[in-house]
Amino acid sequence: MLFVCLGNICRSPLAEALFMKHVHQRGLEDKYSADSCGTSGWHIGEPPDARSVANARQNGLEYTHRARQIKKDDFNEFDLIIPMDASNRAHLEAQAPEKSAAIRLMRDFDPGHEGSDVPDPYFGGEDGFQEVYDILDRATANLLDKLEKDEI
Ligand code: 4NP
């Protein structure tokens, strides 16, 4: 599972951490692994945004990551690539080789919000981080449900 956003410091590292939280809670770590990356190279090597980390900690989640940019091999090394918004998806689809993992929007796994973007909290206020946390907690749990039911 590869989660993708623009900077790889706000949304996708949190999606990766929340997906793995659900995997651990269900004892499924032998079956699933996850990584995240950005379509841009703007924050390569940086840890997740301090506001995302602080918000996650308030919700009981600790995580780390180092930002990296999508690379050609990613399209073959992962089974499923999950962009956070339509812009990230367009960027990935433009780069994808002919033989590529499936690319599916994160909120296609958020019932009632299929086709919507995970909002980018980077330029917004504190509330945005909790909103993103709640969306990603819900969508990654639902994604795992669907994987377990072989519906993807
Ligand atoms: P992310 O958020 O794509 O969720 O990691 C952003 C991080 C940085 C920037 C934009 C979005 N930026 O413009 O630097």
Nearest CA to ligand 1 atom 8: 7
pLDDT for 125 equals: 84
pLDDT for 113 equals: 98
| pTM attached to this predicted model | 0.97
Of the candidates 49, 74, 110, 120, the residue annotated as catalytic is 120
Nearest CA to ligand 1 atom 6: 7
Q: Is 5 a catalytic residue?
A: yes
Q: Is 68 a catalytic residue?
A: no
Give, for ligand 1, the residue of 5, 37, 55, 107 to mutate: max count of ligand atoms closer than 8 Å to Cβ.
5
Average pLDDT along the chain, 152 residues, taken 10 residues at a time:
98 98 98 98 98 98 98 97 98 96 98 97 91 98 97 90
pLDDT for 152 equals: 87
pLDDT for 66 equals: 98
Domains and CATH numbers, the chain: 2-148 (3.40.50.2300)
Q: Is 125 exposed, middle or buried (0-12, 13-18, 19+ CB in 10 A)?
A: exposed
Q: Is 57 exposed, middle or buried (0-12, 13-18, 19+ CB in 10 A)?
A: exposed
Q: Is 134 a catalytic residue?
A: no
Q: Are strands 102-103 and 35-38 parallel, antiparallel or unpaired?
A: unpaired
Angle between helices 126-148 and 50-58 (to 10 degrees): 70
